[in-house]
Amino acid sequence: MKIIEVESYEDMSRKAADIIKGVVCSKPNAVLGLATGSTPEGVYRCLIEDNKKGLIDFSKVTSFNLDEYEGLDGSNPNSYRYYMDNKLFNHINIHKERTFVPDGMAEDLEKECKAYDEKISLAGGIDLQILGIGSNGHIGFNEPADMLIPSTHVTELTEETIKANSRFFPSLDQVPRRAVTMGMGSILKARRILLLASGKNKADVIDRLLQGDISTSLPASMLHMHRDVTLIVDKEAASKISNDCCA
Ligand code: F6R
């Protein structure tokens, strides 16, 4: 795992946007794997800025998002489709029909999951996957567990994640308990992975991750098995990395 330590959230965002720009410039029809949450918001702002300046062209890009809550449709401000439309897609020249987010409203969610992995394969696989990390080590909604499911699947959210994500909802009760997520196997198939972490509340998990052990109790540790992962971490999130870490 390559580690890039930067000063601030803004620097992390700019660095990540520049890497995405590099990928799209060298492959205009690149397939991007995208994440939601607080972490990539700054990256998306930088990409919008660059797109407006003509520095990046999304007209041939395809995107696949990591996850979506069960039971929320795209008009719900808490859905990840709504997030992506409002924080990125509506402001850049991407073709909406080439932006994919799992459908948390699908009548048959199992079928939706299978179809989602097939769509990724048909698109040629993900060239660059952007990831945030949960403070419990989750990636997408692959929560710590005895076993992890490799393909896209429906999952129960942990209490910790429900609590962490309740900051976006009017109340804790309104946070969906289940979600559709790409599995760790689907994520690890990406050719290149960019993991982003910012802020003090990520310092413990980044320290754990960089101890180097691989365990399903820390889903992000599976990333150690991938040959091309870059972690961009700001000063606060890097503040607990022990010197003897073996990343
Ligand atoms: C979002 C996602 C999650 C987040 C993680 C960190 O699509 O898959 O795994 O990346 O929960 O969230 P933030 O960035 O809000 O700290």
Please report the pLDDT score of residue 175 as a whole number: 94
Alpha carbon of 36 to ligand 1 centroid (Å): 6
**Residue pointed to by tokens 């999130």:** 237
Task: Output the pLDDT for position 239.
Answer: 97
pLDDT tens-digit readout, 113-123: 999 999 999 99
| CA-142 nearest atom, ligand 1 | 9
What per-residue confidence (pLDDT) applies to 242? Answer: 84
Q: Which of 103, 143, 234, 236 is catalytic?
A: 143
Residues 58-98: tens digit of each pLDDT? 999 999 999 999 999 999 999 999 999 999 999 999 999 99
pLDDT at 245: 58
Ligand 1 atom closest to Cα of 181?
A: 8
Measured CA to CA in angstroms, residue 97 lies from 60, 115, 175, 190 at distances of 11, 16, 28, 21
236 catalytically annotated: no
- Is 136 annotated as catalytic? yes
Active site residue 103: no
Three-state DSSP state, 9? helix
